[in-house]
Structure 1
Amino acid sequence: MPTEQIIAEYLVETPLPIEKVAAVMAGEQSCGTFTRVAGETDELRSRAAATVMEIELLDIVTDPSLESQYLQRKGLNGPFQRARVTIGFPQANVGTNLTALAATVGGNLFDIGEVSGLRLEAVYLPASFRSHFAMPVKGVAGTREVLGVYDRPLFGTIIKPNLGMSPEQTGDLVATLCDAGADFIKDDEVCASPDHAPLAARVKAVMARVRDFREKTGRNILIAFNISDETDAMRRHAELVQAEGGNCVMASLNWCGLAALQSLRASTDLIIHGHRNGFGSMSRHPLLGFGYHAYQTLYRLCGLDHLHVHGIGGKFCNPADEVAASGLQCLKPLTTNGPETDKVMPVFSSGQWAGNIATTYEALHQSSDFLFLAGGGILAHPDGPAAGVASLRQGWEALCAGMSVEEYGATRPELAKALSFFGEKNSPSPVAPGAGPA
């Protein structure tokens, strides 16, 4: 009986005929192996075999991207054809198991001897498959609703120093950042439950200040506690955060894993802020690992609300077009014509400051639906955190006014100071008149 298919797109490099390699890939990840085996009937193959749907030949190179002992043993030393290969996997092979999906579209493919390079670029899901998995609890619209902010990006920061502060010192810094006007504050990914600031003590100290702030101002703020841990511990940590009046938790996705994130979502309705630290180890080589489309598809099936995409013009290696594409993917439902609720808030972080806001807005096709995190951009501002937050808002105001940050900053001291301090190393992108939001 025909079944709906999960579609995976790969970049492949090989000295062998690409049609042969694509067939090997499809067989390896469905019902086959290197040779026909007992029980592998024609009926079984018609029902469970993956299908090579398309092969697009790209360029030819003389040297392999990666070594393969298999190719070396056979004396296959080039030339090497690169191609885009699209394979359809029967949805019935996977059932409703997320780890099985990852093993199907990835699994042993990265190790097969026939290739000198293989990268999983994208995964496309049928709506019937998506329906079996958690949706974002808040996502883009719900995050805005929690904060009561609808007409601009959300501005946040990361607790710095990354490590070293006691729970009380952390609480005092959070109180300062609340008063400074930040929308969002998160733990650094390296600060989970260090000896000098155990998570339980830190949550209590921070939330005491947050509750006071809410009572004093009537304003809400998101605090993302880093609860990355083994699965049962993460569930306990989330319960503590919720009991103290918290609204958000953060997890290091790559070190916790898909199954742990699924279990966390099943046990809490808190906002889950997904941090992708370590993604570079999976993505930085152009012919190995994961493209962001495939990566975010897998983790969004866990029901995340926010997802990091790095930053444009920041301190990391990612080119602007890659960061932009990642942000745009977050703002699309996972399936064609999927609901608006199936979007996650893209989180731009790493070396961000007021001068990067216009570029980020334009990269998202003039959408303000993003969380803009500035660690040093707020906490290292020469006039303090309140001036750092003000400089970000003024960067947005400049965009709305159709002015460059330099022009707008001439009468805004906080933005002017940010320009002189951060702009020495990061040139802001001017915005053409009229390019701001309506």
Structure 2
Amino acid sequence: MTVAESAQAGRGNSNDHVRRHNLSVILGLVHRARGLSRAQLTRQTGLNRSTVAALVAELVERELVVESEPDSSNQVGRPSPIVRPSPAVVGIAINPEIDAVTVGVVGLGGTVLKRVRHATGHPPSVEEAVQISAAVIAGMRPELDASYRTVGVGVAVPGLVRVEDGLVRLAPHLRWEDEPLAAMLAEATGLPVLAANDAHLGTMAESTFGAGRGLTDLIYLNGGASGIGGGIISGGNSLGGVAGYAGELGHTLVNSVGVRCHCGAIGCLETEARREHLLQVVGLTDADADDLETAILASTEPAVLAEVHRQLRFLAIALRNAINTLNPQLIVLGGFLGTLYAAAPGVLDDLLAEQPLKASRESVRVTRAELGRDLLIIGAGELAFQPLIADPAGFVPPTRE
């Protein structure tokens, strides 16, 4: 190869890299906004109109986005076509919990299309969770193959997950330790599988489609059947740590004379703020999140309000430490923590108005998660879509007979 030919090849490789990068940017923007006009894409990317048009055309050809004409009423001049995520591209979302395995189908744009909850009544083993998930997906296969293109599987795990290979290092409430969950699911389903901590994925979902939209610094804290997990967005980036284990705010020390946690420490937040204590005080043996919230909000029993206040006091201690350390704009509470916040309006706000450093607390507000029961399914779906959005050019369009 001559020097000139080598230089031309280098320019070709560079141009291809830029094109692939720009395709990723465009698809990511459309996915997160659930639809943008070409004019908006031009403004947000800084690319010229003809480049945006060519990139959108390629994504349309790959059947990753669709274009439609906007409502032209009250507009001056020629309206710009609206680019939306393709409704035919989906990811599979899986969430194993201590009493069930939930499998969902999520479309680009974070739309939950289907959800199947398979109750187990006990913490499933990793083998059982894989078998249940594979069976549910197999049952969905006829519809998926006929109407959709499935890009992969994302798993939201209530525990520590090594991000590089989906190895579950520790999910104590499920009694899993060093389990190759992602590899087992990939073998059982024939689909690419990624796994991550459930709270991290909940944080991703809320920051993309929920209460944290447009914010660069937030803390998400979720209370569920398996305890309390957290996730952090700092400077617009997910804070995962060197191996993806950061954000375990449920293991913040809140009571130095408390009980021993399963992690081995004394007085962790999730030993003091617990879903099972709330179930007991309202007289339930089990309930989903909606039923538990209904029971708590409807109760007039002093013991119920006292337990809500007790748990909020310990939650305030954990959040005080997080506010002083991370200086967030927003704290998002999900699961039963959101229920506690709703059951005693103003209590947590009053505690956080007094405890953290004044300069840090002035800029933070607290709110409930917006995505409700869809939260972890959307978060796991985001994980399934990551490889596609990172490189849409690697996504082969379907062949036509």
Greater RCO (CA < 8 Å, at least 6 residues apart):
2
TM-score by length of 1: 0.25
Structure (1 or 2) with the greater strand fraction: 2
